Chain A
Amino acid sequence: MRLELRGITKRFGDDAGGVVANDHIDLVVEPGEIHALLGENGAGKSTLMNVLYGLYQPDSGEIVLDGTARRFRGPGDAIAAGVGMVHQHFMLVPVLTVAENVMLGRERTRSPRALGLLDRRRARRDVVELSDRYGLRVDPDARVGDLPVGVQQRVEIIKALARDADVLILDEPTAVLTPQEIDELTGVMRSLRDDGKSIVFITHKLKEVRSVADRITVIRRGRVVGAAGPATAESELASMMVGRTVALGVDRAPATPGEPVLRVDGLVVLDEAGRRAVDGVSFQVRAGEILAVAGVQGNGQTELTEALLGLRRPASGSVRLDGRELVGRSPREVLRAGVGYVPEDRQRDGLITDFTVAENLVLDSRDTPPFGTALTMNTAQVRRAALARVAEFDIRTSSVDAPAGTLSGGNQQKLVVARELSRSLRLLVASQPTRGVDVGAMGFIHARIVAERDRGTPVVLVSSELDEVLALADRIAVMYRGRVVGMLPAGAPRDTIGLMMAGVEQDAAYARAEQSPTELTQLDGAAVPAGEGEP
């Protein structure tokens, strides 16, 4: 189906002072095309797709499918017209099977005589048929909650296809996948394209765009700022996205590690269900080095960092900072010992969104001079310091008195980083420090982390973004099912890390990575000669 968006405009807020999330956006997606919509967080990609999916009504402009203008009053209309969407946060019922999830919302029953019993057999058959046709490997009888994220995503795609989608919107589909899973997804996308489907692929990741898209439309601040082909250089795409030249990658000197500062020995941490989420992990981090903990989300990284911070009590093992045992100490004592912490979920653990920016900057130092004493706080000092931090860390806010919740994701993250780096640290634990952050803020945060390392602070960086791990790590610990399955040097091949993240052993991972490199790695390799001249 040929999809055309003509002059789509969507505003939020009051007529006069509102925000234009989409400003006369034109977009054409041909049948049998993978069309990437590239833009930073908040550029208006999701708004545009929500308009297309009927979740928002455009203020002006029209949606044209195969030459007919359509109006979608809700997702139901969009689905009926053949538009399917795979959301970034999956809309699946974990306790149901794959087949049940696929039939959800359009449950077919057997003949009326059968008392309206659900036609499960038919649902199963649909799933099997679609998964064979497009290479979407999935077991129709598996419980969705038991499936890895990559497979759940396939279920979402099947769900859309089972509703006869001809236009498929994939919203940041690669955010949670390993390189090998990404390869599998791109394979699926290609076979869908070859079958004549139109695919809109929303992302902010440059490498993936180049590997899979047929055409690229770049959106910035609600406007289409350009179109490009897959051959366009990454740096060029990045500057289109951000609106200025950006340096990709981090400028950093090799580490000059000193003495070991943090020693973790035989750490075992249980999760809420009593499983060994961290299963006997040991490592050391030296002064002035960044140890990256790589792994697919949910392999114990969260529990590991919480145990380091005293937020979760380990079942056994020890964590020593400068020789002092941290296990058994309260979070407050751990913070006082000089540990800085950037939590993985800033909204939940890092910020109090109804507190002001200034208040959030002193969450952990509220009772230490000059900000306050045990009894009172010095609001003037808090504000003054906040003004300085906001300038230093380039936090974009209307005022230091604005609630932190009004900041964009990237600025909220800078706020957390600013707070943690404002104290003098003996250890920095940063968990997913650039999640949901735009390219500009990402570079900034990376540079600050490297600067902290260069000041001699040991850094534990937990990230499920391989690009981030590769850009920052001096050593890489790969975590899989609660164990550190390998300790790799900086510059270890992407595919090897990816395979180890999926549970392949170190030696086998090296061998297999060599034999069958993924597309992203091939792009890495190709980028070397072209990228040498760049800053």
Chain B
Amino acid sequence: MTDLAGTAEPGSVAPAGPHDARAGGGGPPAPGRPPLARALVDAVLRGNSAVVTALAILLALVVGALLIALSDTEVVTRLGYFFSAPGDTFSRSWFDIRTAYAALFSGAIVNPSDVSAAVHGQGSVSAVFGPISETIVTATPLICGGLSVSLAFRAGLFNIGGEGQVIAGALAAGYVGFAVSLPPVLHLVVAVAAGIAGGALWGFLAGWLKARTGAHEVITTIMLNYVAGNLLLYLLGTAAFQRPGRPDPISFVVHPNARLPHLAGPSLRLHLGIVLALAAAVFVWWLLSRSTLGFELRAVGSNPDAARTAGMSVGRGYAVAMLLAGGLAGLAGVDQALGTAYTLTPGVSANIGFDAITVALLGRASPLGTVLAGLLFGALRAGGVAMQAQTGVSIEMVTVLQSLIVILIAAPPLVRAIFRLRGPRAGGETVAVARGWGG
């Protein structure tokens, strides 16, 4: 009706000149800087393009290559006479890097020699798919855990408690798996449900504490990790759990009925868990983008004050978000107990709860991104095992790669500076809006 182009115009992009006349010093205190956790979440959710992600992975591989070369004593020896014969250093380094990354690739995706063997009828077809199977099996719990952290992120929560929730899930699933006897399909369903419920309970504790008392979830989830870890240790020493005749803390073996069935024959470890993980990813997507509850969770996560003003219960949002996040981490525990190990040991969580944080960060807290990030890290892990076996480069190199990727993702300006990319435009989308009404 009226020409109000003035309302969508230049000055509105000026970062230092908000004309929102909020009262000065005498008025209500201006909202302070966001807490660290939220600032981090914001940095990860925004401002990372696919390009930055790809470049971060590339850069991490380059730095990893340097470390691989330098960790070889032979290279270090040759560096000693670098200036008289630099070629020696380079050729040896190149050899190290090439063989290590080749081993990483063949352990994670496909081994060319297995393929040619299979083609010539000398090897088995399943050997060809072995690496992929291992990658997926390793990625499965990472995806579940990553979804857990991502979901919590979207509700404004920093779930450091994946580890405890994985343990709680594995404990519950494993116990149902070996302690009860049920018909085939039912047993699996009950065991999986128990695992999810166990993780959900563990997550809910932290969410409930935050809703009720305001206790920060970072603190409570870390503490609950210890509680879960020690509870596991204790239980593994009790008669109800410990396998008879074993001095070490290890549980009974999960009944075959309760195991996640193999998907591609007995020679490959690929199991039903990946289907559950993908279903969980679809569920999280639906929850966040289609459901009323997800709308509320995102609202609470983005701006709890406005959510409350709009009649949402912020505390309930936190509790529900942690319940669901815990359930997803519990599913990762299910993968461990019922999919690969078939038993409970003190190391059943395999650090998945913490790796899940890096998965969620790399996946930018979106369901699809989390799945892809989980697959990438799964591939790195699976390949790392082969790399260690074949070339002697420690599997810890994979942890270094993983950490480097996440550090670079968490610092997009760093990646942009290294590759001289242009930064995000001042005002971002405001520019587009202003342009839209420029007439």
Contact = CB atoms under 8 A, between A and B. Distances in A.
Interface of A: 12-14, 17-22, 40-47, 49-50, 55-56, 88-90, 92, 94, 144-145, 147-149, 152-153, 172, 175-176, 220-222, 242-244, 297-298, 302, 309, 311, 330-336, 341, 343, 345, 347-355, 359, 363-364, 366-367, 372-377, 379, 394, 396-398, 402-403, 406-411, 435-436, 438, 440-441, 444, 464
B27 A176 contact: yes
B24 A242 contact: no
Given A309-B309, A331-B309, A350-B309, A88 B21 contact: yes
24 contacts: A12-B10, A21-B10, A92-B25, A147-B25, A149-B24, A149-B27, A244-B3, A332-B311, A335-B310, A348-B306, A352-B299, A352-B307, A353-B303, A363-B299, A363-B307, A377-B292, A396-B4, A396-B8, A396-B437, A409-B18, A410-B4, A438-B4, A440-B2, A444-B2
B11 interface: yes
Interface in B282-337: 290-293, 295-296, 298-299, 302-303, 305-313
B313 A330 contact: yes
B4 A373 contact: no
B25 A144 contact: yes
Contact of A408 (B2, B7, B435): B7
A370 to B, nearest CB: 13
Contacts of B2: 244, 394, 440, 444
Given A17-B431, A396-B4, 17 more contacts: A13-B13, A14-B425, A19-B435, A44-B9, A46-B11, A92-B25, A94-B25, A149-B23, A149-B25, A176-B21, A243-B3, A298-B28, A348-B305, A349-B309, A376-B292, A402-B429, A441-B7
B7 A21 contact: no
A149 B431 CA distance: 35
B282 to A, nearest CB: 15
A21 B11 contact: yes
Given A42-B11, A364-B311, A402-B433, A19 B427 contact: yes
B14 A50 contact: yes
Nearest to A414: B7
Main secondary structure of the interface of A (DSSP, over half): loop
A352 B12 contact: no
Nearest to B432: A398
A440 B311 contact: no
Given A42-B19, A147-B26, A20 B306 contact: no
A158 B124 CA distance: 86
Nearest to B42: A354
A352 B9 CA distance: 21
Given A145-B25, A297-B26, A408-B7, A19 B292 contact: no
Given A350-B306, A355-B298, A47 B11 contact: yes
Interface in B16-35: 16-28, 30-31
B433 A46 contact: no
Contacts of A153: 24
Contact of B11 (A44, A244, A406): A44
Contact of A436 (B20, B293, B435): B20
Contacts of B4: 394, 396, 410, 438, 440-441
Nearest to A347: B20
Contacts of B26: 147-149, 152, 176, 297-298
A56 B13 CA distance: 13
A438 B6 contact: yes
B414 interface: no
B5 interface: yes
Nearest to A174: B21
Shortest beta-carbon contacts, A-B, top 10: A46-B17, A332-B311, A21-B10, A149-B26, A398-B436, A436-B20, A363-B310, A175-B21, A42-B11, A41-B19
